Structure 1
Amino acid sequence: MAAIAGDNTQPVSRGAYTIPEFCEAHRISQSMYFKLRNAGLGPRVMRAGRRVTISMEAATAWRRAREKAA
């Protein structure tokens, strides 16, 4: 995210993925994500109303767990 010229604000770093962003970042399909979630093998999620996000920390923990399981 680029700052506007003359604007002294810093861009906000992303703290969480949406489900489509998580799937793209981890190169899995959304259907595979939902299969993993339904099997209890998905990452922890945060809910705000109807919006579901996955924190960067939860994504990291999920990757580590998948590496150990492999």
Structure 2
Amino acid sequence: MAPPEVTGRKTARRDVADDADAFTVKEFCARHRISVQLFYKNRKQMPRTINVGTRVLISKEAAAAWRRMRERAAQAAERAA
């Protein structure tokens, strides 16, 4: 794969995204390695969002709560099996 300076593609700035108090849906999905389509398809299972103008954001706290909820669901499924 060619480096970004050759292809002209922008790279994600992890240092800025790590310090963010809220993430866009695209940033959230990239950080959790899920597709945006999956996010909207399973909207009821995803973290709470906030609307700021036309932007849809996910707070850092909502993302953390979502991860804890998914971990608990996975543990419950393991116990049931």
What is the match of residue 65 of structure 2?
61
Identity of aligned residues (%): 51
Q: TM-score, normalised by structure 2?
A: 0.66
Q: Deviations over 1:6-49 (max 9, x none)?
A: xxxxxxx3100000000000000111111121xx1110111112
Over the aligned positions, Cα root-mean-square deviation in angstroms equals 1.3
Query: Which of 36, 43, 54 lines up with 2:42 in the alignment?
Result: 36
Q: Give the Cα separation in 2 of the matches to 1:48 and 1:16.
A: 11
List structure 1 segments (4+ residues) > 4 angstroms apart after TM superposition. none
The aligned runs of 1:1-70 (5 Å cut-off) are 13-37=19-43, 40-70=44-74
Q: Which runs of 5+ in 2 are unaligned?
A: 1-12, 14-18, 75-81
When the two structures are superposed, what TM-score results if normalisation uses the length of structure 1?
0.76
Structure that is richer in helix per residue? 2
Unaligned segments of structure 1, at least 5 residues: 2-12
